[in-house]
C-alpha cells in the first residue's frame, strides 16, 4: 500500500534532478539561439566577408564601418601577452609544487594559489589602472597611455596563473610515480627527471591547461575594459589603448543604444565571434585532456 | 626425477643444469666464496615511528645472486630500496646503522646518491619503460650520464645481455609500450645494464609476469651473475630456490636467517625459517 507513494516520490526526485541537469543545457541552447538570431539581421546589413576582413571598427561614429579585425587584434594581443607571462610562471609554479616542494609546503601553497583565482576581476582592473600603469609602465616607458594593452595583458596574466599552475600541477602529478622512480634509478638528477620524463609525460595535460587559460583570457571582460580602454585600433604597440571584443560589448551595453539598431545588433555578432573562438579552444582542450587520461589508464 | 608439488616450471627453457631445477630433491651446492660488495651493518629503517627494518646486518657477495624472501610487509623491499637510496624520497623516513658499498658509507654526505645509482642499478616490480622508443629507453640513462662511447653499440650490447636483442633489433624505433610485459621487464633490465653498473637490485621483478616470461627472466638472472652482483627480492620461494646462491629470510623487519640457498631450503637453522619455507605461514 505504501508502494505507490514511494513510486511517486522517486518520480518526483527523478524529475527535479533531471530539471537541474537540463538547466545548463537549456541555458546554453538559449544563448546560442539569441546570439544567432540577433546576429542574422546584422549580417544582412554587413557582409560576413567585410566583417571578418575589415580593418576599421567604427560602430558608434559616422562613417560607420564594421571590420572586426581591430577588436580581434586587441583581444589576441591582450590574451597572448597574458599567456606569455602566465605560462612560464604558472608552469614553473606547478613544477615546483609537484616535483620540488615538501608535502607540507604544498598543502599550504596550493590553496593560497587557488584563492588568487577568486579575486574579483574588477579588482585586477583597478590594480592595472592605478598601480601597474602609473607606477611601473609609465616609469619605464613614459610614452605609455593611461589605458594600454600591456597593463591589461599583465593583469590578465596574473589572473590566469592560478588556473595554469593548478591544472599543470594536476597533469604533472598524474605522471606515474613508477616512471619517476625508473628515471631516478638510472642515476638521473631531479632536473633531468622533471625535464625529460615528467614534463614530456604530462605534455598533453599541460597543453590543455594552457588552452583553458587562453579561453579565459580571451573572454576576460572587466579587467581588460578598465586597463586597456575602448579605442578600437589595429596596432602592435602595447603601450596604446586598444579595444577587445569583450570591452566593445561592455561599451555598447552600458550606453543608451536603442534596440533594433545596427550597433545594438553588432554586439551579438561580436559575442558570437568570441563564443565560437572560445568554444573551439575548449573543445580542443577537452580532447587533449581525454588523450592525456588515456595515456596512463 | 621426482618432484614435490612445489616445483612448477613451464616446459620450455629446461636445461641439463640439474642444480637449477632440483633444489627440492637434492641440496644446491654451497657457492664458492667471493668478496663482499655491499655490507649492511645493523641497519634500521623507520617510517615515522614504525620500524620497517630492524638492525639488519648482511654481506652481499660479488657476482652471486642473493635472494631476500619473507612474507608481505617484512621489510624486504624497504631494505632493497635503501641500498640505492630510493627511499630518500619518502617523507619522514629515518635510518640508523650503515650500508657500505665497496667500503664506503652510502649515506656519507659527500657521497652523491647519483654516483651510487650509477653503480647500483634497479629493476622494479612492475615494468616501467618510459613512453619513448625502445632505443631511447636503453640509451636514456647512459646519455644523461654523459656516456662518450658509441651509444648504438652500447644499446645493442645491453639488449643482448638482457636477452632481448633478437626480438627487438628490427623495431628499435618503436614505442617500448608496445612490447609485452615480459619484454618490457627485460627492456628495463637492459636499461639498467646500459649504465654499466656493478650491482643490480631487483624488486620482485617477475610478480607482474606470466610463468613463461618469468622463466625467461630467471634464466637471464642466472646468466647475469657472471658479470653482476644481483640482489633479488621475491615473495616466490621456488624462484629464490631456483635462481639464488644465497637466501636471506626476513620476518617483521628482522633478518631471521641467511645462508647458502641449498642450506636454507634443506636444513634451516631457525624454526621460523623452516615454517615459512614449508608453507606453514606467510
**Out of A189, A197, A200, closest to residue B114 by CB:** A189
Across A90-94, A260-264, A290-294, B190-194, least confident range: A290-294
Q: What is the pLDDT of residue A254?
A: 86
Contact (CB<8Å) B91/A103: yes
Contact (CB<8Å) B144/A186: yes
Are the C-beta atoms of A90 and A165 separated by less than 8 Å? yes
| A142 CA to centre of own chain | 30
Instruction: Classify domain A57-296 by CATH number.
Output: 1.10.3720.10
Best interface-test mutation with B: which of A182, A201, A295 has the largest number of B CBs within 10 A?
A182
Contact (CB<8Å) B144/A178: no
Structural domain boundaries of chain A?
A: 3-45, 57-296
Best interface-test mutation with A: which of B115, B126, B128 has the largest number of A CBs within 10 A?
B128
- What residues of chain B, 121 to 180, have a C-beta less than 8 Å from chain A? 121-122, 124, 126, 128-131, 140-141, 144-145
Residues of A in contact with B145 (CB under 8 A): 186-187
Q: Looking at chain A, which residue has its C-alpha nearest residue B196?
A: A186
- Note whether A178 contacts B: Cβ–Cβ < 8 A: yes
Q: What is the pLDDT of residue B43?
A: 96
C-alpha to C-alpha distance for B118 and B142, rounded to whole angstroms = 9
- What residues of chain B, 181 to 210, have a C-beta less than 8 Å from chain A? 188, 191-192, 195
pLDDT band (50, 70, 90) for residue A102? confident
Q: How far is B219 from chain A (nearest CA, A)?
A: 23
Contact (CB<8Å) A188/B114: yes
**Cell (9 digits) for B29:** 651446492
Ramachandran sector of residue A78 (left: φ over 0; alpha: ψ -120 to 50; beta: rest): alpha
Which of A212, A210, A216, A217 has the alpha carbon at shortest distance from A94?
Answer: A210
- Note whether A200 contacts B: Cβ–Cβ < 8 A: yes
C-alpha to C-alpha distance for B254 and B49, rounded to whole angstroms = 16
pLDDT band (50, 70, 90) for residue A259? confident
C-alpha to C-alpha distance for B90 and A196, rounded to whole angstroms = 22
Contact (CB<8Å) B86/A181: yes
Percent of chain A with pLDDT over 90: 72
C-alpha to C-alpha distance for A222 and A211, rounded to whole angstroms = 21
Rounded to 5 degrees, what are φ and ψ at B247? -130, 135
pLDDT band (50, 70, 90) for residue A89? very high
Q: What is the pLDDT of residue B8?
A: 46
User: What is the DSSP track for A201-229?
Assistant: HTHHHHHHHHHHHHHHHHH--HHHHHHH-
C-alpha to C-alpha distance for A90 and A210, rounded to whole angstroms = 9
Interval A6-63: pLDDT, tens = 889 999 999 999 999 999 999 999 999 999 999 999 999 999 999 999 999 988 888 8
The overall average pLDDT reported for chain A is 91
Q: What is the pLDDT of residue B16?
A: 41
Contact (CB<8Å) B130/A179: yes
Dihedral over alpha carbons B41, B68, B195, A180 (to 10 degrees): -100
Q: How far is B199 from chain A (nearest CA, A)?
A: 12
C-alpha to C-alpha distance for A167 and A254, rounded to whole angstroms = 35
Which of B96, B10, B88 has the alpha carbon at shortest distance from B56?
Answer: B96
pLDDT band (50, 70, 90) for residue A294? low
H/E element, A25: helix A3-45
pLDDT at A138 over 50: yes
**Cell (9 digits) for A106:** 604544498
Best interface-test mutation with A: which of B123, B126, B140 has the largest number of A CBs within 10 A?
B140
Contact (CB<8Å) B145/A187: yes
Assign 3-state DSSP to chain B and report helix, strand, coil percentages, each to 5: 35, 25, 40
Buried b (16+ CB within 10 A) or exposed e, B142-181: bbbbeeeeebeebbbbbbebbbbbebbeeebeeebeebee
pLDDT at A67 over 80: yes
The answer for residues whose C-beta is within 8 angstroms of residue B277's C-beta and 6 or more apart is: B237, B249, B264, B265, B268
What residues in chain B have per-residue pLDDT under 70? 1-27, 282
Tell me the ipTM for this assembly: 0.86
Q: What order of strands is seen across the sheet that includes strand B65-69?
A: B120-123, B199-203, B229-233, B65-69, B246-251, B254-260
pLDDT band (50, 70, 90) for residue A296? low
Q: Looking at chain A, which residue has its C-alpha nearest residue B144?
A: A188
- Note whether A294 contacts B: Cβ–Cβ < 8 A: no
Q: What is the pLDDT of residue A204?
A: 87
Structural domain boundaries of chain B?
A: 33-277
Q: How far is B121 from chain A (nearest CA, A)?
A: 6
C-alpha to C-alpha distance for B205 and B189, rounded to whole angstroms = 9
Contact (CB<8Å) B144/A176: no
Collapsed DSSP state (helix, strand, coil) of residue B104: strand
Q: What is the pLDDT of residue A83?
A: 97
HSE toward the beta carbon, residue B252, CA cutoff 13 A: 3
C-alpha to C-alpha distance for A243 and A235, rounded to whole angstroms = 11
Collapsed DSSP state (helix, strand, coil) of residue B229: strand
Q: What is the pLDDT of residue A112?
A: 87
Contact (CB<8Å) B191/A186: yes
Buried b (16+ CB within 10 A) or exposed e, B190-213: bbbbbbbbbbbbbbbbbebbeeeb
Q: What is the pLDDT of residue A295?
A: 63
Tally of CB atoms within 10 A around A227: 30
Q: What is the pLDDT of residue B12?
A: 44
Instruction: Classify domain B33-277 by CATH number.
Output: 3.40.50.300
Q: Looking at chain A, which residue has its C-alpha nearest residue B117?
A: A187
Amino acid at each position: 500500500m505504501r508502494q505507490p507513494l514511494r513510486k511517486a516520490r522517486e518520480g518526483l526526485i527523478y524529475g527535479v534532478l533531471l530539471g537541474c541537469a537540463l538547466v545548463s543545457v537549456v541555458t546554453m541552447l538559449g544563448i546560442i539561439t539569441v546570439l544567432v538570431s540577433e546576429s542574422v539581421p546584422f549580417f544582412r546589413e554587413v557582409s560576413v566577408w567585410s566583417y571578418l576582413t575589415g580593418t576599421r571598427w567604427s560602430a558608434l561614429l559616422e562613417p560607420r564601418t564594421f571590420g572586426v579585425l581591430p577588436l580581434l587584434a586587441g583581444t589576441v594581443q591582450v590574451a597572448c601577452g597574458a599567456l606569455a607571462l602566465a605560462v612560464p610562471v604558472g608552469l614553473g609554479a606547478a613544477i615546483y609544487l609537484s616535483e620540488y616542494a615538501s608535502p607540507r609546503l604544498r598543502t599550504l601553497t596550493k590553496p593560497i594559489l587557488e584563492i588568487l583565482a577568486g579575486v574579483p576581476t574588477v579588482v585586477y582592473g583597478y590594480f592595472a589602472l592605478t598601480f601597474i600603469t602609473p607606477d611601473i609602465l609609465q616609469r619605464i616607458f613614459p610614452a605609455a597611455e593611461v589605458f594600454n594593452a600591456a597593463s591589461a595583458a599583465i593583469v590578465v596574466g596574473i589572473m590566469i596563473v592560478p588556473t595554469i599552475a593548478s591544472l599543470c600541477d594536476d597533469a604533472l602529478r598524474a605522471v606515474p610515480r613508477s616512471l619517476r622512480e625508473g628515471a631516478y634509478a638510472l642515476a638521473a638528477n631531479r632536473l633531468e627527471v622533471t625535464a625529460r620524463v615528467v614534463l614530456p609525460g604530462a605534455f598533453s595535460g599541460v597543453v590543455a591547461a594552457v588552452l583553458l587559460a587562453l579561453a579565459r583570457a580571451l573572454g576576460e571582460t572587466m579587467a581588460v575594459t578598465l586597463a586597456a580602454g575602448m579605442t578600437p585600433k589595429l596596432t602592435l604597440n602595447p603601450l596604446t589603448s586598444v579595444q577587445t571584443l569583450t570591452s566593445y560589448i561592455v561599451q555598447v551595453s552600458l550606453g543608451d543604444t536603442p534596440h533594433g539598431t545596427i550597433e545594438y545588433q553588432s554586439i551579438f555578432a561580436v559575442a558570437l565571434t568570441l563564443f565560437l573562438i572560445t568554444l573551439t579552444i575548449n573543445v580542443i582542450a577537452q580532447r587533449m585532456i581525454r588523450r592525456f587520461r588515456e595515456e596512463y589508464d | 626425477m621426482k618432484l614435490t608439488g612445489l616445483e612448477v616450471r613451464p616446459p620450455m627453457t629446461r636445461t641439463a643444469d640439474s642444480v637449477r631445477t632440483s633444489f627440492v630433491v637434492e641440496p644446491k651446492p654451497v657457492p664458492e666464496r667471493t668478496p663482499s660488495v655491499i655490507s649492511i651493518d645493523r641497519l634500521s629503517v623507520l617510517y615515522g615511528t614504525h620500524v620497517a627494518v630492524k638492525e639488519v646486518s648482511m654481506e652481499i657477495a660479488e657476482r652471486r645472486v642473493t635472494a631476500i624472501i619473507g612474507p608481505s610487509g617484512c621489510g624486504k623491499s624497504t631494505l632493497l630500496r635503501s641500498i640505492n637510496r630510493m627511499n630518500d624520497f619518502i617523507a619522514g623516513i629515518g635510518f640508523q646503522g650503515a650500508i657500505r658499498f665497496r667500503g664506503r658509507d652510502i649515506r656519507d654526505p659527500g657521497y652523491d646518491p647519483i654516483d651510487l645509482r650509477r653503480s647500483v642499478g634497479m629493476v622494479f616490480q612492475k615494468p616501467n619503460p618510459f613512453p619513448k622508443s625502445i632505443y631511447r629507453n636503453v640509451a636514456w640513462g647512459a646519455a644523461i650520464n654523459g656516456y662518450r662511447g658509441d651509444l648504438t653499440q652500447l644499446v645493442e650490447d645491453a639488449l643482448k645481455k638482457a636477452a632481448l636483442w633478437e626480438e627487438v633489433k628490427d623495431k628499435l624505433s618503436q614505442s617500448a609500450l608496445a612490447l609485452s610485459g615480459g619484454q618490457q621487464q627485460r627492456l628495463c633490465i637492459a636499461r639498467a645494464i646500459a649504465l654499466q653498473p656493478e650491482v643490480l637490485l631487483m624488486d620482485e621483478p617477475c610478480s607482474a609476469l606470466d610463468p613463461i616470461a618469468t622463466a625467461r627472466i630467471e634464466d637471464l638472472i642466472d646468466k647475469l651473475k657472471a658479470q653482476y652482483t644481483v640482489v633479488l627480492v621475491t615473495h616466490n620461494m621456488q624462484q629464490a630456490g631456483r635462481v639464488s646462491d644465497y637466501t636471506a629470510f626476513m620476518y617483521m623487519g628482522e633478518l631471521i636467517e641467511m645462508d647458502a640457498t641449498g642450506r636454507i631450503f634443506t636444513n634451516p637453522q631457525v624454526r621460523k625459517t623452516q615454517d615459512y619455507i614449508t608453507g606453514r605461514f606467510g
